[in-house]
Chains A and B, each alone.
Chain A
């Protein structure tokens, strides 16, 4: 399930997709897509006409046959585009499905019960209690009632390192299909079989549960409306042509006379009537071809593939969107609420300076700090050892020989340290150290508080170091802002997205880090209520807000946010409240999620623009071909110099069908996306897909025409 690179047309996906393209000819399935449904409808009509012509032995059957065949290819290629997009999801779903197979649950009558009954996991109901021992697969989604265990969630997340799950708190949710590695858990089942997280994931990646997104629905309205306009444009042609052929026929006879203007409307009238009775000179099959090339089949065919591919891109990124709507909303996000820790800063603080008190050598302070940290395995502790080594060349001593006794950090003392060679060294929170020193009746140098203040203002955390009751100085710990994050925020700002840093730190520290990281705003000492309030305020200003969260108390904010990404490690409540789940539980991904949403919308817009711009060339291919028999002058519109009317029509319809296949990779991969302001994106995309859409078919149809004539198809 981990982002496995799929080649666009995996051979294993190809065959089932081809089969599916035929299966999707089922009218019920076609009806979901108005443009392709209309195409299939007129293709069926053209087939009927062809059969009638064949029975009456009408001329140009080979040509009509080819046109009809390409009409069907257009439908099949559209189906294929959808099938291949779905197929990519199916492959991912299959690997998920394996984990779901045939798990046996050990059901408990009550959480305290000792005896278990074995039932298939599929028969578990919401509210059942089950026991899962080491080595067993968790039979369904639930929350832990009792126990602590390490759980292997790689089946879902692809992350091989086990995670700890325990009852109560924010890590109590377990997911069906994951495996308990150690210890034993009692779990209350919270999702019935078939609606578990895993089931939903499978449905989502398969595209089975795919609902059309609001924008997709609206786009379908546009495409259907444009198709209707072209129904009018094409359906009126026979009448116009009947008039024209009657007019030109009677004109041909009058052309010799001095005045080319026909004096007698009556003759024209009669001519018209007879022409219309004869059905006009325009073949219906050709009109159908014109119609199909004009309606936006390209975007119509690729629309659902784009949507499915967008969801899949998220899945490859180990983010599950619970609805396509959420992906769309991600593109619209104006404000990103980002947790400081892990997103903006590295997870832990690091020592950056030793500040010695007057009368203390910096090296002396560094040595004491290093000694007190040698056995401290926290990242902060290790960073002190490293800093002392870097600055003063101090190497850790062999502790075993020094009769050292290490004192671990505790929440009560808020200090840690070492007793070594009769010295008592402690380091810890400044106020805790100060209190201890005062209790011991020693004095605290006045500079200590001044320096403490200074560090806090700069966004750092001071640790005081004390040896035998004498304050040596401070170690400055600092949040390390992630490399490159400032540039990311600048990019986001260019895209018009405001970033707000959420942190539990006090305002002073938060302001310093916010300034360093380059976020636009921050929310200090953030409580769940403050987050919710912030989201509501932003939304009241007409902005869409994205955030991520994991705890139960994040649930209201996650639900309120337009895009709420819940961490997979989070609680069930959080996962239910969000509209996306990040399987890697990496809050940084919020930024990528926005990018993926934007890319999906851009792909949709680019192909719509391309599809509509194509019409110009298609008109210039078919209109002269259609009318040249009536008015030879109209060959002047044959800008591409297509060989014959038949080859022109055939080339246009072939181009129209093939362009669908040619654009499938683009639909699946998404258009190239570089963050930037809207004006720049628009300029670039208009140039590529608007202008490209105007020019490409002129070249494409010409080439196909050459080929058609070379091979002798007409």
Chain B
């Protein structure tokens, strides 16, 4: 660990802190339908979209209507993408003449992008045509992120509205999120990345002769546009197979800093938007605080662990940090920032190989995902993920102030709790259930490259990543097989929609309630105390569930590492 490294980490958090409030305010104005800087340009376009699609922007939907619209939209997105992938061989913009994608891989990939997971069973440059990447994946990168934002808005409206039977209009939220937020930010970011040297073209792959005289095929294409949105929209599906460890996908230190900032940016800003929506920005800062502390702890632990290096390597006389699988251009600090942020934020893009981290570093990554992607989390998904824990926290501890539990003025009662528990349960159900199946299924075990605890970590990481809609992987696993693709596909679906649907029902139920007036006797949910409580509940309720599994994976591996045993 170096001062320089810590300064890089500090700079990262400072930048995040500085951007949260202004961007949060902008998002708030956009979703409240207020005038913004972009309104003159995009307002006519927005209204045009409604006219063409026949959406009545003023008609609001109840929770069922909102949910139905969201599900329908995602189903259509899935069918479109699946078809596109299957047929890409015969479609244009396929200079390499790549064939159609196999059914199970197309299923897995389509779900992966619809659920904002971007799990890559495919290798980008070797499997997908430019058309598939741009029309299929990039489109989903936008709209799956916009779906997340829309759901988060609807959930927050549940707290804001009083005795109301509506949660907003899904189509309007979707359109505004895409048009005013994701597109402009992606364009700005893409331009910045192009300026930093990232390719953006439709060219053939370049054939080059290396210094040694070998022939090399240099892949390229519309990289910058895809990278900008994969980072901003918590998607993570890289243009290249090695994602942002590829020099074209991450040309230099500045691009690395920007890309790792994009990972969290919108999720962080949404906490502030949330605060503004509930008319108390401190509420947003409390969620931000809990998220930031957990992220910082994760970064700190993995920075320490990676800096310790591998004792087995040290025994060979090579001192220094663990650099296996890391881009030497970025070093340890930039790698651990990225790895913690990408797992926390449900993004899944990488700039170093997670498989090669020390077990403790891998533990941080896995736990970040298993905590329900609530530490900033996916765009929108992180906010409603954290709200789930806030509901649990006020329910468990809220009674201790001598009142029945309430959050943001809404009483949390049996119905809300039932639905919340349903949302909480779905994650360990698929995550642990399928991991257990995979660890005894000969068919599934074929995909493992490593044995022992590390092999187990690969399984656990894969299902964590899918359930948490993260998308990153321990690379040792070869998951492009029918059973893996199918089970991971199901896991992604459950991890996304089995959480969203009950939560929208919670929002519907909350919106229908009257608000309780706050007083000095109200459970305070904006101070440091609540932040601490929230972290505690997150770690105990969210984290302890996975303790037995983690003990058999990264924990024992870490202990073995220092006992001189590698896996």
A598 at interface by CB-CB < 8 Å: yes
Q: Which residues on the A side are within 8 Å of B435 (C-beta)?
A: 236, 240
Contact A623 B551 (CB under 8 A): yes
Q: Digit string of B439-472 for contact with A (CB within 8 Å is 1, else 0)?
A: 1101001101111110110000000000000000
- The count of chain A contact residues (Cβ–Cβ below 8 Å) is 90
Q: Which residue of A lies closest to B418 (CB)?
A: A221
Tell me the complex Cα distance, A239–B401, Å. 42
Q: Which residues on the A side are within 8 Å of B418 (C-beta)?
A: 221, 225
Total CB contacts across the A-B interface at under 8 A: 263
A248 at interface by CB-CB < 8 Å: yes
Q: Which residues on the B side are within 8 Å of A243 (C-beta)?
A: 439-440, 455-456, 552
Within 8 A of B (CB), among A664-691: 673, 677-679, 681-683, 685-686, 689-690
B216 at interface by CB-CB < 8 Å: no
A494 at interface by CB-CB < 8 Å: yes
B536 at interface by CB-CB < 8 Å: yes
Q: Which of A145-153, A262-270, A367-375 contacts the other chain? A: A262-270
Contact A495 B520 (CB under 8 A): yes
Q: Which residues on the A side are within 8 Å of B548 (C-beta)?
A: 233-234, 236-237, 240, 619, 623, 626
Identify which of A215, A217, A228, A633 contacts B560 (C-beta below 8 A).
A633
Contact B453 A677 (CB under 8 A): no
Q: Which residues on the A side are within 8 Å of B536 (C-beta)?
A: 613, 690
Q: Which residues on the B side are within 8 Å of A215 (C-beta)?
A: 399, 404-405, 413
Q: Which residues on the B side are within 8 Å of A332 (C-beta)?
A: 403-404, 516
Q: Which residues on the B side are within 8 Å of A543 (C-beta)?
A: 516-517
Contact A496 B521 (CB under 8 A): yes
Closest Cβ of chain A to B434, distance in Å, is 10
Q: Which residue of B lies closest to A243 (CB)?
A: B439
Identify which of A218, A273, A637, A689 contacts B551 (C-beta below 8 A).
A637
A355 at interface by CB-CB < 8 Å: no
Contact B439 A240 (CB under 8 A): yes
Contact A497 B519 (CB under 8 A): yes
Contact A627 B515 (CB under 8 A): no
Q: Which residues on the B side are within 8 Å of A623 (C-beta)?
A: 547-548, 551
Within 8 A of B (CB), among A459-497: 493-497
Contact A265 B402 (CB under 8 A): no
Q: Which residue of B lies closest to A226 (CB)?
A: B541
Q: Which residues on the A side are within 8 Å of B540 (C-beta)?
A: 612-613, 615-616
Closest Cβ of chain B to A387, distance in Å, is 41
Q: Digit string of B414-452 for contact with A (CB within 8 Å is 1, else 0)?
A: 101110011011001100110111011010011011111
Identify which of A230, A244, A615, A682 contacts B400 (C-beta below 8 A).
A682
A416 at interface by CB-CB < 8 Å: no
Contact B421 A222 (CB under 8 A): yes
Tell me the complex Cα distance, A605–B392, Å. 12
Tell me the complex Cα distance, A681–B418, Å. 27
A647 at interface by CB-CB < 8 Å: no
Contact B522 A605 (CB under 8 A): no
Tell me the complex Cα distance, A625–B397, Å. 31
Contact B437 A239 (CB under 8 A): yes
B202 at interface by CB-CB < 8 Å: no
B16 at interface by CB-CB < 8 Å: no
Contact A229 B402 (CB under 8 A): no
B103 at interface by CB-CB < 8 Å: no
Q: Which residues on the B side are within 8 Å of A219 (C-beta)?
A: 395
Max chain B C-beta neighbours (<10 A), residue from A232, A497, A542, A601: A232
Q: Digit string of B494-514 for contact with A (CB within 8 Å is 1, else 0)?
A: 000000000000000000001
Max chain B C-beta neighbours (<10 A), residue from A222, A273, A601, A623: A222
Tell me the complex Cα distance, A685–B549, Å. 32
Known: A240-B435, A247-B452. A225 touches B424 (CB 8 A): yes
A142 at interface by CB-CB < 8 Å: no
Q: Which residue of B lies closest to A493 (CB)?
A: B520
Q: Which residues on the A side are within 8 Å of B549 (C-beta)?
A: 233, 236, 240
B546 at interface by CB-CB < 8 Å: yes
Closest Cβ of chain A to B26, distance in Å, is 31
Tell me the complex Cα distance, A494–B520, Å. 6
Tell me the complex Cα distance, A222–B405, Å. 13
B566 at interface by CB-CB < 8 Å: yes
Contact A634 B404 (CB under 8 A): no
Identify which of B395, B455, B527, B565 contacts A247 (C-beta below 8 A).
B455
Max chain A C-beta neighbours (<10 A), residue from B416, B515, B545: B545
Identify which of B516, B521, B545 contacts A678 (C-beta below 8 A).
B521
Within 8 A of B (CB), among A303-338: 328, 331-332, 334
Q: Which residues on the A side are within 8 Å of B453 (C-beta)?
A: 244, 247, 631
Closest Cβ of chain B to A274, distance in Å, is 11
Contact B521 A497 (CB under 8 A): yes
A656 at interface by CB-CB < 8 Å: no
Contact A602 B552 (CB under 8 A): no
A167 at interface by CB-CB < 8 Å: no
Q: Which residues on the A side are within 8 Å of B429 (C-beta)?
A: 232
Identify which of B396, B412, B450, B517 contacts A262 (C-beta below 8 A).
B450
Contact A605 B399 (CB under 8 A): yes
Max chain A C-beta neighbours (<10 A), residue from B409, B421, B428, B552: B552
Q: Which residues on the A side are within 8 Å of B449 (C-beta)?
A: 265
Q: Which residues on the A side are within 8 Å of B442 (C-beta)?
A: 269, 272-273
Q: Which residues on the A side are within 8 Å of B452 (C-beta)?
A: 244, 247-248, 251, 262
Q: Which residues on the B side are within 8 Å of A350 (C-beta)?
A: none
Contact A682 B439 (CB under 8 A): no
Within 8 A of B (CB), among A379-429: none
Contact B552 A229 (CB under 8 A): no
Contact A678 B401 (CB under 8 A): yes
A604 at interface by CB-CB < 8 Å: yes
Closest Cβ of chain A to B260, distance in Å, is 31
Contact A331 B414 (CB under 8 A): no
Identify which of A276, A612, A637 contacts B396 (C-beta below 8 A).
A612
Q: Which residues on the B side are within 8 Å of A630 (C-beta)?
A: 552
Q: Which residue of A lies closest to B518 (CB)?
A: A496
Contact A328 B545 (CB under 8 A): no
Contact B524 A681 (CB under 8 A): no
Contact B514 A251 (CB under 8 A): no
Contact A602 B402 (CB under 8 A): yes
Tell me the complex Cα distance, A602–B521, Å. 13
Contact A602 B399 (CB under 8 A): yes
Known: A272-B439, A597-B402, A601-B399. A260 touches B559 (CB 8 A): no
Contact A496 B424 (CB under 8 A): no
Tell me the complex Cα distance, A276–B438, Å. 12
Tell me the complex Cα distance, A124–B293, Å. 70
Tell me the complex Cα distance, A619–B545, Å. 10
A134 at interface by CB-CB < 8 Å: no
B555 at interface by CB-CB < 8 Å: yes
Tell me the complex Cα distance, A609–B540, Å. 11
Closest Cβ of chain A to B169, distance in Å, is 27
Using CB atoms and an 8 Å cutoff, list the residues of chain A in contact with chain B.
Answer: 214-215, 217-219, 221-222, 224-226, 228-230, 232-237, 239-244, 247-248, 250-251, 255, 260-262, 265, 268-269, 272-273, 276, 294, 328, 331-332, 334, 493-498, 541-544, 597-599, 601-602, 604-606, 608-609, 612-613, 615-616, 619, 623-624, 626-627, 630-631, 633-634, 636-637, 673, 677-679, 681-683, 685-686, 689-690
25 contacts between A and B (CB under 8 A): A219-B395, A225-B421, A225-B425, A228-B421, A229-B424, A232-B425, A237-B548, A243-B440, A247-B452, A265-B445, A265-B448, A272-B442, A496-B520, A498-B519, A542-B517, A601-B399, A609-B400, A612-B541, A633-B559, A634-B555, A677-B521, A682-B397, A682-B400, A682-B523, A686-B533
Using CB atoms and an 8 Å cutoff, list the residues of chain B in contact with chain A.
Answer: 392, 395-405, 409, 412-414, 416-418, 421-422, 424-425, 428-429, 432-433, 435-437, 439-440, 442, 445-446, 448-453, 455-456, 514-517, 519-524, 527, 529, 532-533, 536, 540-541, 544-549, 551-552, 555-556, 559-560, 563, 565-567
Given A236-B549, A247-B453, 15 other A-B contacts at CB below 8 A?
A: A215-B399, A229-B545, A232-B425, A232-B429, A233-B549, A236-B432, A239-B439, A261-B566, A268-B451, A331-B404, A497-B521, A615-B540, A619-B544, A624-B551, A682-B400
